[in-house]
Amino acid sequence: MSDIFYSLVERQPAGKDIVFLLDGSDGTRTGFPAVKDFVQRVVETLSVDDNKDRVSVVQYSKEPAAQFYLNTYTTKGDILDTVRGLRHKGGRPLNTGAALQYLRDNVFTASAGSRLQEGVPQVLVLISGGRSFDSVDAPASALKELGVLTFAIGTRSADSKELQKISHDPSYALTVSEFTDLPNVQQQLQSSRRFGKKIHLMSSCLFSPAGKDIVFLLDGSDGTRTGFPAVKDFVQRVVETLSVDDNKDRVSVVQYSKEPAAQFYLNTYTTKGDILDTVRGLRHKGGRPLNTGAALQYLRDNVFTASAGSRLQEGVPQVLVLISGGRSFDSVDAPASALKELGVLTFAIGTRSADSKELQKISHDPSYALTVSEFTDLPNVQQQLHLCSQRAGCLDLCNWNQEC
The three-class DSSP label of residue 348 is strand
The per-residue pLDDT for range 336-369, each reduced to its tens digit, is: 988 988 888 888 998 888 888 888 889 887 777 8
Rounded Cα distance, 394 and 149, in Å: 13
Non-local CB neighbours of 330 within 8 Å, separated by 6+ positions:
289, 291, 292, 293, 294
pTM (two decimals) = 0.52
Beta bridge partners of 218: 255, 323
The per-residue pLDDT for range 211-230, each reduced to its tens digit, is: 889 999 999 999 989 999 99
The per-residue pLDDT for range 57-78, each reduced to its tens digit, is: 999 999 999 999 999 999 999 9
Mean pLDDT of 246-254: 91
The three-class DSSP label of residue 174 is strand
Is the fold of 16-203 the same as that of 212-397?
Answer: yes
The domain defined by 212-397 folds into Rossmann fold (3.40.50)
Question: End-to-end alpha-carbon separation of the chain, Å?
Answer: 24
DSSP conformation letters of 306-343: GGGT--GGGT--EEEEEEESS--SS--HHHHHHHHHHT
The three-class DSSP label of residue 205 is helix
Residue 376: other Cβ atoms inside 10 A = 16
The residue extents of the domains of the chain are 16-203, 212-397
Give the residue, 371 or 3, on which the prediction is more confident.
Answer: 371
Look up the CATH number of domain 16-203: 3.40.50.410
The three-class DSSP label of residue 266 is coil
Yes or no: say if 373 and 228 are a contact pair by the CB < 8 Å rule: no
